[in-house]
Amino acid sequence: MLKTPAYAALDPASPLVPFTIERREPGPHEVLIDILYCGVCHSDIHQARDGWGGAIFPMVPGHEIVGRVSRVGAQVTRFSVGEAVGVGCFVDSCRQCPSCNAGEQQYCDFGMSGTYNSYERNPDDRRFDKSRPTFGGYSTQITVDQDYVLRIPTALPLDRAAPLLCAGITTYSPLKHFGVKPGDRVAVVGLGGLGHMAVKLAAAMGAEVTVLSTSESKRDDAIALGAKDFAATRDGTVFKTHAMRFDFVVDTVSAPHDYNAYLNLLKVDGTMILLGIPEAPEVVSAGSLIRKRRRLAGSMIGGIRETQEMLDFCAEHGVASDIELIRMDQINEAYERMLRSDVRYRFVIDLGTLRHGTG
Ligand code: NAP
Ligand code: ZN
Ligand code: ZN
C-alpha cells in the first residue's frame, strides 16, 4: 500500500483537514497517477456537507483529476509512464449492463463506482465492496483501471483541463444528446463552473447563447466567454422580456429556484435540461410544459468514450476552463466563495502544494 497525503471531510459539519489515505499498488490493468491538479465542483460541497444524504465519511472529495502516469500494471496497453491523463466522476462500473455496454457507464444499472463517496467493486461479482470506500482527487496520487482513464490532448494546459473532467463533460454530453445545432438559441442559467463551460461549448457548437445570472457583475465575462446576450434574473423582468425565446434552457443552478419561471422562456417544443442538483425538490406545474409542448430533461456527466471525445473537441476548438489556481489549504475558503457564487469560474487545486507541504 502507498501512503498518500490527502484532505478529507471527517463529518458533514467540519471544515476539510489534512488526512492520510492508502492507495493500492496498480494491479495488472491499473495505472498509478501522480495527481497534479484537481478541480473543485459544487458536487464536492453538496457531498462533503451531506446535502444529498447517504454520504460516506471520512470523505476525500475531488473528481476533476489531471496528472501523469507514474506506474503501470503488467497488462496495461493504453498508457505509459509520464503520459498526461485524467480521471472524472467514476472509476469503475459493472461492465455488463446495457448502459455499460453502450459506453454510458454513468448510468450503470448497478450504480457507478464514484471517484469518491462510493465503493470499489469485487472483481468476481462486480458488486460494491463496502469495505473499500473510494477516495478522490484532493490527494497526491490515485490508482485506477486503465479503462476508466482519459488521455489529455497535448494542446490543453493541464490545470485548465482538469474541470473538463466533470464540468466539461456534464455540459458537452446534453448539448450533443439533445441535438443543439448552429443557430439554436440556448439559455445558460447560472454562470459558475458548469455554466461557463456550457457557454463555451454551446458557442463552439454554433449556438446563440444567452446567460441568465443572479450576478449582474458577470455580464462582461459572459460576453467574453462567448455569449451573445446576458440578462440579470433578480428583478424578474427577464421572465417577461425573454418569454418563449429559447430552443434550450441549460440549468446549472446549485440552489433551489423556480423551474416554472425558466420553462416559460422556452419556445414551442423547447427543452429545459436540468444539470444542477439542488438539495430539495422543486414543484413543476403541468401547465408550464403542456402549454407549449415543452420537455423537461436531466443529464448526468458522460461516459468514458464521450469524455474522450469532449477532450479532443476542446483541444481542437481551443476550449479550456477559466480557473483560479489555489493551494490545498485554501479549500475551505474556496467552498465558502462558491456558496456565495464568487468563483470565476472554477477553483483548481495545485496538488504540488500538498505534495511539497506548502499547502
Ligand atoms: P458553481 O460553480 O457553484 O455554480 C453554480 C451557479 O449557480 C452560481 O455561480 C450562480 O450563478 C448560480 N446560483 C447559485 N445559487 C443560486 C440561486 N439561489 N439562484 C439562482 N442561481 C444561483 O457550481 P457548479 O460546480 O457549476 O455546479 C452546479 C450544480 O450542478 C451543482 O448542484 C452540482 O452539484 C451540479 N452538478 C451536476 C452534474 C451532473 O452530472 N448533472 C455534474 C456536476 C455538477 P450566477 O452567479 O450566475 O447566478
Ligand atoms: Zn462534478
Ligand atoms: Zn453497468
pLDDT digits (tens, 9 = 90+) for 83-107: 999 999 999 999 999 999 999 999 9
pLDDT band at 358 (very low <50, low <70, confident <90, very high): confident
In 3D space, the residue among 330, 349, 184, 206 whose CA is nearest the CA of residue 269 turns out to be 184
> How far, in Å, is the centroid of ligand 2 from the Cα of 20?
23
pLDDT given at position 39: 99
Q: Tell whether ligand 1 has an atom less than 6 A from the beta carbon of residue 338.
A: yes
Other Cβ atoms within 10 Å of 273 Cβ, number: 24
Judged against a pLDDT cut of 90, whether residue 359 lies above it is answered with no
CB half-sphere exposure, 323, CA atoms < 13 A:
26
pLDDT given at position 344: 95
> How far, in Å, is the centroid of ligand 2 from the Cα of 43?
5
Helix (H) or strand (E) holding 222: helix 219-225
Q: Tell whether ligand 1 has an atom less than 6 A from the beta carbon of residue 214.
A: yes
Fold of 2-166+302-355: Quinone Oxidoreductase; Chain A, domain 1 (3.90.180)
Phi, psi of 2 (to 5 degrees): -115, 115
> Which residue's CA lies nearest to atom 18 of ligand 1?
255
What's the mean pLDDT in 299-325?
A: 98
Atom of ligand 1 at shortest range from CA of 257: 19
In 3D space, the residue among 64, 255, 35, 50 whose CA is nearest the CA of residue 171 turns out to be 64
- What pTM value is reported for the model? 0.98
Helix (H) or strand (E) holding 175: helix 167-177
Write the pLDDT tens digit of every residue in 3-52. 999 999 999 999 999 999 999 999 999 999 999 999 999 999 999 999 99
DSSP structure string for 288-315: HHHTTT-EEEE-----HHHHHHHHHHHH
pLDDT given at position 160: 98
pLDDT given at position 309: 98
What's the mean pLDDT in 308-332?
A: 98
Residues 6+ apart with CB under 8 A from 260: 283, 284, 285, 288
Average pLDDT over the chain reads 98
In 3D space, the residue among 136, 183, 170 whose CA is nearest the CA of residue 37 turns out to be 136
In the chain, where the domains are located = 2-166+302-355, 171-298
Ligand nearest to the backbone CA of 121: 3
pLDDT given at position 271: 98
What is residue 77's DSSP assignment?
A: -
What is residue 82's DSSP assignment?
A: T
Residue 175: all three cell numbers together = 448539448
User: Prior bond to 28 cis, omega within 30?
Assistant: no
pLDDT given at position 26: 98
Atom of ligand 1 at shortest range from CA of 299: 41
Write the pLDDT tens digit of every residue in 146-199. 999 999 999 999 999 999 999 999 999 999 999 999 999 999 999 999 999 999
Write the pLDDT tens digit of every residue in 186-243. 999 999 999 999 999 999 999 999 999 999 999 999 999 999 999 999 999 999 999 9
Residues 6+ apart with CB under 8 A from 265: 187, 212, 239, 242, 243, 244, 245, 246, 249
Class of domain 171-298: alpha beta
> How far, in Å, is the centroid of ligand 2 from the Cα of 344?
16
Going from the C-alpha of 21 to that of each of 7, 42, 152, 183, 201, the distances in angstroms are 9, 23, 26, 49, 36
